[in-house]
Structure 1
C-alpha cells in the first residue's frame, strides 16, 4: 500500500480544515496546529509552501492567520501534494537490482511500463480530486449508523459541527 508522506498528510489536513472554514476570518496557525495535532513550527513551514504555491493566503497581525486562496473546488489534492513535496519523481523501475545485473537494459526494462502506468494513474487521481471532493468525503464518513465517528480524525469537532 502506498503511503503519503507526513508532510503531505499534514498539508492535506490543514487545507481540509481551511476548506471547512472557507469564507470565515483567517485561521491562526496555532489553532490550525492544535485542531490537527500538527507541531506548530512544522505546520508553519508547510503553510509557507502552500502560500508560495498560491493555494493559501496569509494575513499578518492581530486577527491574522491562513485561508484558502480560492474555492476548494479549484484546488486539487495533487496541487497540495506538489506544493509541499515538489514535483513527483517518476518511478522508472521497481527492480533497480535487475538493471545492475544486466537483466533490464534501457527501454527493455520489463516493469518500466507498469511503473509508468502506476504513476499516470496516481497523478490522474490526485489531480482529479479537488479539496471540495475531499471535504465531501470527510463529511460522508464522519458518522456511521451507530453514531461512531470514522474517517474524521483529521478534523476537529468544531470543523464538523460548523457545517450544519
Structure 2
C-alpha cells in the first residue's frame, strides 16, 4: 500500500490544526502557504475530513477549520482511512494460498496498528532521539 498525496497532505492539514488547537480557526490558505501546497487541493481534502467529523468549518472573515476533538483523540489511521480508503496492501480476499493470505492479513494488521496507535498529538510532539532502526532488506 502506498499512501498518496491525499493521505500525506491530509495529515499535514490535521497536524497544522492540531498545532493550533484552541487558538481559533485556521485558514487553508495559511496552511497551503506554509507548506507550499495548492490551496485548491487542500479544499478538496478537507471536505471528506469534515464529513467524517474530524474537523469543523467556521464561516466568516476570520473563519477556517478547527479539529472537532483533541489531537490525542484523532489517530493517523482515522485520517488515512477517510482519505485513502481501507488499509490493505493487496486485495487478499481472492488469495487461494492460505500462507500468502495470512501474510497479507498480518501486513495489513501491522500497518493498521501503527496508524491507529499514532495520534496527531504524537505526530506534532515527535522528537527525533537519534534512534536508528533502519533495516535493509534485499529481495
The number of residues matched between the two structures is 129
| Structure 2 stretches lacking a partner, 5+ long | 131-139
Q: 2:111 aligns with which of 116, 122, 126?
A: 122
CA distance in 2, matches of 1:55, 1:114: 32
Shift of 1:89: 4.0
TM-score where L is the length of structure 1: 0.71
TM-score where L is the length of structure 2: 0.83
Q: Report the counterpart of residue 90 of structure 2 in structure 1.
A: 91
Shift of 1:32: 1.3
Structure 1 residue ranges (4+ consecutive) displaced by more than 4 angstroms after TM superposition: none
CA distance in 2, matches of 1:86, 1:4: 10
Q: Report the counterpart of residue 52 of structure 1 in structure 2.
A: 51
Shift of 1:113: 0.8
Q: Report the counterpart of residue 134 of structure 1 in structure 2.
A: 123
Shift of 1:86: 2.2
